[in-house]
Amino acid sequence: MSTRRILIIDDEEAILAVAKLSLKMVAEWDVVTATSGPEGVIKAESEQPEAILLDVMMPQMDGISTFKQLQANAKTQAIPVILLTAKAQAVEQLQYKQIGVTGVITKPFNSLTLANEMAELLDWRL
């Protein structure tokens, strides 16, 4: 099986670094990163990841707008998206589900089990 590729979009570089490291080491996934929504949309198209981990709170373009752009693009609309959010109120979670995100992981996440959580949401086997 070829290595799975993941795109992480987050404006916080420290978080990108940790998540990347963790997913690489724990799940042996190939990780590409983007520090903003617009960069993320471009990389999603060019890198064609199997899943996207997307931060909700970002300056410029927030996670929801980014997600909508990804959905509007035929080349990226099929890629499952997991939102990274500090606010995971039931109501909001439901809204996220309704707009079509695959799942939500709350921040701060547990770096060591991040891969497991993602795999569970994506129905992947680790």
Partner 1 sequence: MRILLVDDDQPLTEILRQSLIEQHYAIDIATDGEAGWEYACVFDYDLILLDVMLPKLDGISLCERLRARGHQMPILLLTARDTSPDKIKGLDAGADDYMVKPFDLEELAARIRALLRRDSQALPAVLKWGQLSLNPSTCQVVYGDQPLQFTPKEYALLKLFLRSPNRVFSLSAIIDSVWSAEDSPGEDTVRTHIKGLRRKLKLADAPPDLIETVYGLGYRLKSHPTKPISSNSSSIANEQTNKQTNKQSEASSESMPLTSKGASKGAPNAGPIGQTEVLKESSSPISKALSIPLTKKQTEASTAIAAVWQQYKAQIISRIEALEQAIRHLAAGQLTDEHQQKAQQAVHSLVGTLGTFGFAEGSRLARELENHWRQTTPLESNQSKLFEMLASALRQEIEGAPTGEFLQPTRQGCLRLLAINDLTLQTPFSDIAPAASKIHIEFVSSLSQAREIMDQQSQDAVLISISFASTGSDAAISPSEGLVFIQEIVGQTPSLPVFAVIDSDRLADRIEVIRHGAQACLPQPVTPDQIMASVMQALGKSNSGAKVMILDDDPHLLEALQILLAPWNFKLTTLENSTRFWEVLMQVNPDLLVLDVEMPDVNGLELCQLLRSDPHWRQLPVLFLTARVDAETQRQVFAIGADDYMSKPVVAAELATRLLNRLQRVQSLRR
Q: Does 107 bind partner 1 (CB under 8 A)?
A: yes
In the list 74, 89, 98, 125, the residue contacting partner 1 (rule: CB under 8 A) is 89
Interaction of residue 113 with partner 1, rule CB under 8 A: yes
- Spatial CA neighbour of 69 closest among 105, 98, 45, 104: 45
Tell me the one-letter amino acid at 5: R
Site track for partner 1 across 34-63, x = CB under 8 A: -----------------------x------
Residue in the structure block whose two tokens are 């909700």: 56
Taking each helix axis from N to C end, the angle separating 63-72 and 37-47, rounded to the nearest 10 degrees, works out to 30
The residue among 22 and 76 lying less far from partner 1, judged by its C-beta, is 22
Q: Which stretch binds partner 1 (CB under 8 A): 31-39, 41-49, 66-74, 108-116?
A: 108-116
Nearer to partner 1, 74 or 90 (CB): 90
Residue closer to partner 1 (CB basis): 69 or 102? 102
Distance CA 126, CA 120 (A): 9
Q: Is 31 in the site for partner 1 (CB under 8 A)?
A: no
- Of 107, 112, 108, 85, whose CA–CA distance to 97 is shortest? 85
3-class SS at 103? strand
End-to-end CA separation in angstroms for the chain: 12
| Binding interface with partner 1 (CB under 8 A) | 12-15, 17-19, 21-22, 25-26, 57, 86-90, 93, 104-114, 117, 120-121
